[in-house]
Structure 1
Amino acid sequence: MVLDEIDRRILEALRRNARASHVELAAQVGLSASACARRIRILEHEGVIRGYTTIRDVSAAKARRPVFIQVKLATPNAESMRKFENAARKCEEVRECFLMTGEADYLLRIEIDGLDDFESVHAEVLSRLPGVSGMLSSFTIRSVFSYL
C-alpha cells in the first residue's frame, strides 16, 4: 500500500493519541470524520495499523523495567534462525524481537520486575533459547521518550 500525505498525517496523529475520536483526528488532518474513519479502516485492513496499545511510564512505581538483550547465534543459518524465532515468540517475557545487522543477530526487549526477576528469566528462559552462543544485556535507567 502506498501512503499519501493524509495517511501519514493520520498515522502521526494516532501515534500522538490513539484514543482520539474520528472527529478529533479528522480536524487534525483536514478530512470529514467519515472520510477519516474510512481511511483508518483501510489502514487497519491493509496491516499498516496492526493494533493499538497502552504505553506505561517505566519510571512509575511498580512498573516493569525494559531490558534489551543482544543475542548472537552459534550458526545463524535459516534453520537455526527459524528455531530461535519460534522459541522466542513463545516466551511471554519477550515483548519484541528484532532481526539485526551488525554484531548481534537479534535484539530482544523483555520486561522485568527487578534483578531477581531478570536472573530467573535469564536462567530459565533466555539461556534455553535454541542456538544461542552469547548474550549482552543492557538495563534501562529511564525512558527519555517513546513514540510507540
Structure 2
Amino acid sequence: MLTDEISRRILRHMQAEPDLPMAELAQRAGLAAGTCARRLEKMREAGIYQGVQAIINWAALGYSVEVSLRVTLDKTQSRAFDEFIEEARKIPEVSEIHTFLGRVDVRLAVLARDMAHYQEIYKTRILTLPHIADIEALMQVAAIKMSEDLPL
C-alpha cells in the first residue's frame, strides 16, 4: 500500500505543492480526506514522507556568498570523521555536510554575508576543525537546479 499508485499520486502532489490543504490534496489524489491523511501518516511512519520544509532565500536575507569546501581528512586517526563532523555541525554558517568515498572525504556548504564574513568564518572556524589534511574552496556562482523531487 505504501508504494502503490495512489500513494505515489499523493507524493507527486505533495512534491508539486507541499502546502496544499488536506482536503485539496485528497481531492486531487481521488480520495476522501480521512483516507488521504491516514495514508500520509503511514508513509510518515515508514520514513517515506518526512514532512514539509521551508525553503529560505538566503540571498534575500543578506547572505550573498556560498562556498563549497572539499575537505580531505587525516585518516590516520580512527575517529577523524566523527570528530570533524561533530565540530563542523557546531558552525551555524555550515548549511550542509556530505561525506564521500574517494579522494575528497567531506563537503561543507558555507553561507556568508560577504567575502569578509566568509574569510572570518574560514579563518576562525573552518581552519580550526580537527583532522584536516587538505581543503579546497569552490565559490558558487549560480544555482542552476536545486530540487529533491524525483519522478513518482
- Report the TM-score when normalising by structure 1: 0.81
For the residues of structure 2 that align with 1:121 and 1:39, how far apart are their CA atoms?
44
Report deviation, 1:83. Answer: 0.8
> What secondary structure, in the 3-state scheme, does the structure 1 residue paired with 2:127 have?
helix
Q: Offset at 1:17?
A: 2.2
State the SS of the aligned residue for 1:69: strand
Q: What is residue 42 of structure 1 aligned with on the other side?
A: 42
Q: Superposed, which structure 2 residues align to 1:7-26 within 5 Å?
A: 7-26=7-26
CA contact (8 A) 2:63 2:111 kept: no
Partner residue in 1 for 2:75: 75
Percent sequence identity over matched residues?
24
Unpaired segments of 5 or more residues in structure 2?
none
Residue in structure 1 matched with residue 124 of structure 2 by the alignment: 124
Alignment RMSD? 2.6
- State the alpha-carbon separation in 2 of the partners of residues 96 and 80 from structure 1: 18
Q: Which runs of 5+ in 1 are unaligned?
A: none
Relative to structure 1, the CA distance from residue 51 to residue 95 in structure 2 (aligned partners, 3 Å threshold; closer, same or farther) is farther
Q: Which residue identity lines up with residue 15 of structure 1 in the other structure?
A: Q
Q: Normalising by structure 2, what TM-score?
A: 0.80
Counterpart position of 1:94:
94
Kindly state the Cα deviation for residue 76 of structure 1 after the two structures are TM-superposed.
Answer: 6.6
Deviates more, 1:104-113 or 1:70-79: 70-79
